[in-house]
Amino acid sequence: MSPSPVPSPSSASAPPRPIRQAATLIVLRDGAQGLEVLLLRRAEKANDQNSGASVFPGGLLDAHDRGLHDFCCGIDDAWASARLALPAGGLDYFAAAVRECFEESGLLFAQDARRQQLLDLQGLSRGELAAMRAAAAAGTDALVALCRERGWQLAVDRLAYFAHWLTPPGMPRRFDTRFFIAAVPPGQEVEVDRFEIAEHSWLRPHDALDPARRLKLMNVTRRILQQLAQFASVDECLAHARGLRDVVLNMPRLAGGPGGARPVNIEEPAYAEIGYVDPEGRGHAFHTLEGGAVLALSPNVWRVTSSRVDASPGEHSYFVGAGTGGPWALIDPHVGDDAHAQALRAAAPGPVQWILSTRGHDAAQGAASPWRALWPEARFAGIEPGADVRLGEAVLRVLAHGSDASARGFLLLPGGLLFAGAAAWAPAALPREAQWLAPALGFLQRAAQR
């Protein structure tokens, strides 16, 4: 298999795509069979990646959301900013969530300042309500004017902060979105505009996730529905959200693999490696390990994965070097696997001057025979811990394992990538320069911090 290309660090990168701030309000209600969530199906539109998707009400922050601060009740900007871990402007997100929900669904989280209860909009005519929503959607300060004229206050204190998601690098449009949850206002009915939003539905989260329903769900929507499915009632879900001490930022990463590219979420095994190989989302990382695959982890590190009898991925070998034309070291070539030997021969990015083994000196000597004919200048002599193998400007520092006297590790400097082999390295045994682990099996891992 030919290696996947990795852009040179000196090659020009595309300018970073702007990240726009957004807010989403997940509206919940208690149904006859449990918790239900409001989903809106977006109208079909050309050149829209979310066309036809079922989503929660939400959208971009607007410049006029700051003007709604004076009409927000129960919390102020200092409290909202602290809750969202922002220096300032946190109340903008709460206000935007309420405004967007009103524009897209007709539900308004507001109260009459005199009555101290959520508004019952059924007293308004359909025409009056439609005019208010159209004005709010026009991007003006219409909601500010409505609050001022009618004495309304936005009931932002009814919202509970629930999730924080950032669109993966490499996507054509990126959004930094705060998700809130709230119980549907009593006495109000959902009314979509049939233009931006085609229809709405109230569904139990696990019903929305059922493939038989054939809903188009974005990754973030699917993941939040999976979270919501854990709760039996609105009160239980709100109590959970209000009890969260910290809301973790979730930023998926795009990667290829069987079935094509897809977002990889933070808890998946490949996530950290994708960030190492392709931090800008340019399309050369993979979410699945495959036997026989050759992957350039960086311009200085190439990984060749062996295949087991059943074609599943086996152990890795690594080429480490100084780039084009420079000397290279081969770590853990695995003797006795002819197919893997052929893959290594084809994948070698340059002249190999060292054959190294994380299993120690004896293993390196045992690996020598099959490779002497191909790389007669390569050295197989044992290297003591603390010694450096110089590969142009790069250095591989030899490390002793500690609990396993025969095991070795090789720390690439600069970069802090430790080729750890099959041994488990305790955090206390790792040098401070070690930032990443390249194991014999599996994906790259971040080194555990002491």
Q: For the chain, 450 residues long, give each residue's pLDDT as a single digit of tens.
A: 445 544 444 344 566 779 999 999 999 999 999 999 999 999 988 777 778 999 999 999 998 899 999 999 999 999 999 999 999 999 999 999 999 999 999 899 999 877 678 888 877 787 887 788 777 777 668 888 889 988 899 999 999 999 999 999 999 889 999 999 999 999 899 988 888 899 999 999 999 999 999 999 999 999 999 999 999 999 999 999 999 999 999 999 999 999 899 999 999 999 999 999 999 999 899 999 999 999 999 999 999 999 987 778 889 999 999 877 788 999 998 766 788 888 998 999 988 989 998 987 555 555 556 677 778 888 876 678 888 999 988 899 999 887 777 788 999 999 999 999 988 888 888 889 999 999 999 999 999 865
- Rounded to whole angstroms, how far apart are CA atoms 68 and 94? 10
pLDDT at residue 305 in the model: 95
Q: Measuring CA to CA, which residue among 264, 319, 322 is closest to residue 289? A: 264
> How much is the pLDDT for 364?
52
Helical segments of 47-89, H only: 77-83
Q: CA-CA distances (angstroms) from residue 450 to 157, 238, 346, 435? A: 40, 36, 39, 11
What H or E segment, with its residue span, contains residue 371? Answer: helix 369-372
Q: Fill in the amino acid letter for 182.
A: A
Name the 3-class secondary structure at 262.
strand
**Burial (CB count <10 Å: 0-12, 13-18, 19+), residue 379:** middle
Burial of 404 (0-12, 13-18, 19+ CB in 10 A): middle
Question: Residue 297's pLDDT is what?
Answer: 95
pTM of the predicted model as reported, rounded to 2 decimal places: 0.87
Looking at this protein, which amino acid is placed at residue 65? Answer: D
pLDDT at residue 126, as a whole number: 78
